[in-house]
A and B are shown apart, each in its own frame.
Chain A
Amino acid sequence: MKTEEFCKMISRSKPGPGDGGNTGSWRVLRPVINLELCIPVKMNKKACFNCWLYCPDSVVSKTIPPVINFDYCKGCGICAEECPVDAISMVDEATPMEEEK
């Protein structure tokens, strides 16, 4: 048997997002960033980014302003807890998003 044929016999996964499905649906509390307090927005330069560093699911972007990907955010609240200026608050998932208002 050729080497390639052996390789085909091994079950291999393909990398991709959403291995656990749409994990945003796990969320009970939603993080909302108050851009008036957020340090990188206020200073208008790359600074702080504690939310990006500590996010377990890498859903917070390292941009100005930081953007949260709500498709996969599990709503753990670590970003809200670790923000040095308390710019992130956890609101109930039932409250409408800014765009929906």
Chain B
Amino acid sequence: MDRLKIIKKNIMEKKTTILNLTEEEFVHSGNRACSGCGLSIIYRMGLKALGKNTILVVPPSCLTVLQGLYPVASTKLPCVNVTFASTGAAATGVRGAMKALKKENVNVVAWAGDGGTGDIGIQALSGACERGEDIIYICYDNEAYMNTGVQRSGTTPQGVLTTTTPIKGKLQEKKDVPAIIAAHGIGYVATASAAYPLDFYDKVKKAMTISGPRYIHVHTPCPPGWSFDTRFTIKVGKLAVKSGLFDLYEIEDGEFQLTGESKRLVGKEKPPVTDYFNSQGRFKSLDAELVKKVQERVDAKWAKY
């Protein structure tokens, strides 16, 4: 326990920079991810943080395609491919197997998309959180079912055009998945963005020092699904954070605090949400009334911080 405390203290004091970030790669080049994929960036960073002593549990998602189709895999770590609804349960099983084999220092990491977390897999995840299983759950949120061709999901924001909401866009609001998971009272819940990979790296490192269920929600821009040019992946991700639509925070033992870029934004002038909406093709059908409502909602949220 003392050793853990020392590691935790070191991590708290030292933020990772580009220069001291490890050069070891756990993802091979030439994988099947789309050009300019936001998930590729965080997958690369996440595995760098987790290291080689890791087992991944992956349900159907873009990540299934990225991590490798039989017989060649692009990930250098063991991945267990499981059914859509069972990610949390399967990760529990992997942890149980590790316990039976007396391999206690292995990171069991479930890595799923937003549909696999917030819609289909939420019962298994909720169960795992309630039981207090010793797993890390990472959800990359690209705000629709991208792998199957951009269908709406529970975490798609209001007004977004998808193939199943093609005319007026989605009518309902985005589901706040990290808040649902935080309501289970687990030790660590954090949000991150693919546009801030070092912040995400630090959060994964921090999660590794805590035991019990840990959850990280990562906002991940998707060029084909959000219809913007592949070169703007980072720009669009940063705009979502800077305009205040997606906040970076962590909840450690029930204590909420903003981190990174969001912490710097408190009390400062933010660019209007229209900057973010105009950067992508998926917000084309938004009307002025809804934009105004979203801006008011963002302002009200930030007035509380």
List residues of A whose CB falls within 8 A of some B CB: 11, 13-23, 26-27, 46-50, 52-59, 62, 69, 71-72, 74-78, 80-82, 90
Contacts and interface: CB of A to CB of B under 8 A. Distances in A.
Interface in B234-252: 234-235
B30 A72 contact: yes
Contact of A58 (B44, B69, B235): B44
Interface string B205-245: 00000000000000000010000011111110000000000
Contacts of A52: 18
A75 B223 CA distance: 13
Nearest to A59: B29
Interface of A is mostly: loop
B18 A77 contact: no
A78 B35 CA distance: 10
A20 B73 CA distance: 9
B205 to A, nearest CB: 16
Interface string B126-153: 0000000000000000000000000000
Contacts of A17: 28-30, 74
A49 B23 CA distance: 12
A59 B40 CA distance: 12
Contacts of B71: 13-14
7 contacts: A13-B70, A19-B69, A46-B19, A53-B197, A58-B27, A74-B35, A76-B231
A13 B230 contact: no
Contact of A19 (B30, B41, B232): B30
Interface of B: 18-19, 21, 23, 25, 27-38, 40-41, 44, 68-76, 197-198, 223, 229-235
A14 B230 CA distance: 30
A17 B29 CA distance: 6
A75 B231 CA distance: 9
Given A56-B41, A78-B233, A15 B35 contact: no
A27 B36 CA distance: 11
B29 A50 contact: no
Contacts of B35: 26-27, 74-76
Given A17-B28, A59-B29, A77 B68 contact: no
Given A13-B71, A48-B18, A78 B27 contact: no
Contact of A14 (B36, B38, B73): B73
Contact of B29 (A13, A47, A69, A76): A69
Q: Name, among A13, A21, A46, the residue most crowded by chain B CB atoms within 10 Å (CB to CB).
A: A13
Contact of B72 (A13, A49, A59): A13
A15 B76 contact: yes
Given A18-B30, A77-B229, 18 more contacts: A13-B72, A15-B68, A15-B73, A17-B28, A19-B28, A20-B31, A20-B32, A20-B74, A21-B30, A23-B29, A49-B18, A57-B29, A57-B30, A57-B31, A71-B29, A77-B36, A78-B234, A90-B231
B29 A58 contact: yes
Nearest to B27: A58
A75 B30 CA distance: 12
Contacts of A18: 28-30, 72
A72 B73 contact: no
Nearest to B40: A56
A97 to B, nearest CB: 19
A20 B25 CA distance: 18
B44 A13 contact: no
A9 to B, nearest CB: 14
A47 B280 CA distance: 32
A13 B73 contact: yes
Contacts of B233: 56, 76, 78
